[in-house]
Amino acid sequence: MNKLLAEDIYYLMVLGRAFEYAAKEHYLQGEISGFLHLDIGQEAFSVAAVKAFAKGDIFSTYREHVIAIARGIEPGAVMAELFGKSTGISKGKGGSMHLTDLSRFFYGGDAIVGGQIPTAVGCAYARKYQGREDGVMVVFGDGATNGGAFFESLNIASAQKLPLLFLCENNQYAIGTKITRVAPFLHQAKKAEPYMPVYEVDGMDATAVYAVVKEAQSRIQQGHGPIFVEAMTCRYEGHSISDANSYRSAQEMKLCKEKDPIERMKKELLESWMAEPQLLASLEKRAQETVDQAVAFATQSPEPKPEELYTDIFCKECANVVS
């Protein structure tokens, strides 16, 4: 970590949060629909992990707006996707849960819990085969660690010594079900321990997340096989925008918000990196302007053309072979 990077991470966290609040606002105004899974409260995890895993492939869950933006996808292209517009990163056909950008090695959100994990294993195999050492990072929630896809992947990735970083975002909840009600322990890294080195990190601490993911990637690059990182986080909102979050007490929410990752990073910048308050204020302003521009872009963009209904199912050449 250095000061410039810390500023960049701070900027992206503020940008991510402003983006999510804007998405919420425009959902409530009816311009966005479907599922909207907000990442508010978890920005340290999403931004710092992606920044640390600067090169290599990333597979994610549906809670992915901030991850996508941290990977470098234009906020306007993400917002336009949420608006269902043709200028969206998936032409308005994927929506919030399906943002993909091959040029940034980002394969976007999988809306089937755990579904992206075996896919990431396969990609890690390809990267090993090609001798490309950056490896693959797969992001998933605590809820995904109870499924077969997860356990099968631990086994295969470790048996085949694949360059794969398993990154578990443990916010303790799968929708309304607390992890300890459906798993025998709170920390899911335990499940990976027999297979690979595991790291635990405070997911509300961007600097810590950055350091752990950086180290994990460098170990992966040495070719010893997969690594498991578990970050404990806390989401501020309901599971999706239609979830009233009634299963968490006011006290639990208060404790959760006391660890605010953005406040923490700001303090660190001011105290440890001697950042100028005006500089941080200007980053905050720039983040808000970027989000406003993203919304304006999304609003002004055209709808997809009707014929888009039939495109992108096969490639043209493949279709020719078939017909």
Partner 1 sequence: MLYREALNRAIDEVMASDESVVVLGEDVGLYGGSYRVTEGLVAKYGEERLIDTPIAELSIVGNAMGMAIGGLRPVAEIMTANFSLLAFDQIINHLAKFRYMSAGKTAIPVVVRFPQGVSRQLAAQHSESYEQMLSAVPGLMVLAVNDVNYAYHALKKAILMDDPVIFIEHELLYNKEGEVDFDADLDPFKARIAKTGEKITIVSYLKMVDDVMEALPEIEEKLNCSCEVIDLCSLNPIDHDTLAESLKKTGRLVVVEEDHKTGGYGTQIVSWAAEELFYALDAPPLRIAGEDVPIPYNRTLELASIPTPDKIAERVIRWGKNNGL
Q: Which residues bind to partner 1, rule: CB under 8 A?
A: 33-35, 81, 84-85, 90, 92-98, 110-115, 143-144, 146-148, 174-177, 181-183, 247, 303-304, 306, 308-310, 313
With beta carbons less than 8 A apart as the criterion, state whether 139 and 50 touch. Answer: no
DSSP code string of 33-46: -S-----TT-HHHH
Question: Which of the listed partners (ligand TPP, partner 1, Mg ion, none) does 158 bind, with a CB threshold of 5 to 8 Å by partner kind?
Answer: none
Provide, rounded to whole angstroms, the least separation between the CB of residue 19 and partner 1: 18
47's enclosing H/E stretch is helix 43-52
Q: Report the alpha-carbon distance of residue 66 to residue 236 in Å, rounded.
A: 14
Contacts with Mg ion, 145-184, as mask; x by CB under 5 A: --------------------------x-x-----------
Question: Which of the listed partners (Mg ion, partner 1, ligand TPP, none) does 281 bind, with a CB threshold of 5 to 8 Å by partner kind?
Answer: none
b/e map 221-246, b = 16+ CB within 10 Å = eeeebbbbbbbbbbbbbbbbbeeeee
Provide, rounded to whole angstroms, the least separation between the CB of residue 129 and ligand TPP: 29
Contacts with ligand TPP, 46-65, as mask; x by CB under 6 A: ---------------x-x--
Q: Report the alpha-carbon distance of residue 115 to residue 112 in Å, rounded.
A: 5
Q: Report the alpha-carbon distance of residue 61 to residue 250 in Å, rounded.
A: 27
Strand partners, 227: 165
Provide, rounded to whole angstroms, the least separation between the CB of residue 292 and partner 1: 23
Give yes or no for residue 175 binding ligand TPP (CB under 6 A): yes
Q: Report the alpha-carbon distance of residue 64 to residue 274 in Å, rounded.
A: 32
Give yes or no for residue 60 binding Mg ion (CB under 5 A): no
Q: Report the alpha-carbon distance of residue 160 to residue 178 in Å, rounded.
A: 33
Provide, rounded to whole angstroms, the least separation between the CB of residue 235 and partner 1: 16
Q: Which of 31, 86, 93, 111 binds ligand TPP (CB under 6 A)?
A: 111
With beta carbons less than 8 A apart as the criterion, state whether 96 and 36 touch. Answer: yes
With beta carbons less than 8 A apart as the criterion, state whether 36 and 71 touch. Answer: no
- How wide is the angle at C-alpha 250 spanned by C-alphas 96 and 257, nearest 5°? 60
Q: Report the alpha-carbon distance of residue 320 to residue 271 in Å, rounded.
A: 62
Give yes or no for residue 15 binding ligand TPP (CB under 6 A): no
Give yes or no for residue 28 binding ligand TPP (CB under 6 A): no
Question: Which of the listed partners (Mg ion, ligand TPP, partner 1, none) does 63 bind, with a CB threshold of 5 to 8 Å by partner kind?
Answer: ligand TPP
* First and final C-alpha spacing in the chain: 55
Give yes or no for residue 142 binding Mg ion (CB under 5 A): yes
Contacts of 21 (CB under 8 A, 6+ apart): 40
Q: Report the alpha-carbon distance of residue 36 to residue 278 in Å, rounded.
A: 34
C-beta of 65 vs 266, nearer to partner 1:
65
Question: Which of the listed partners (Mg ion, partner 1, ligand TPP, none) does 206 bind, with a CB threshold of 5 to 8 Å by partner kind?
Answer: none
Give yes or no for residue 43 binding Mg ion (CB under 5 A): no
Question: Which of the listed partners (Mg ion, partner 1, ligand TPP, none) does 316 bind, with a CB threshold of 5 to 8 Å by partner kind?
Answer: none
Give yes or no for residue 144 binding ligand TPP (CB under 6 A): yes
C-beta of 77 vs 231, nearer to Mg ion:
231
Give yes or no for residue 173 binding ligand TPP (CB under 6 A): yes
**Site for ligand TPP, rule CB under 6 A:** 61, 63, 111-113, 141-144, 171, 173-175, 239
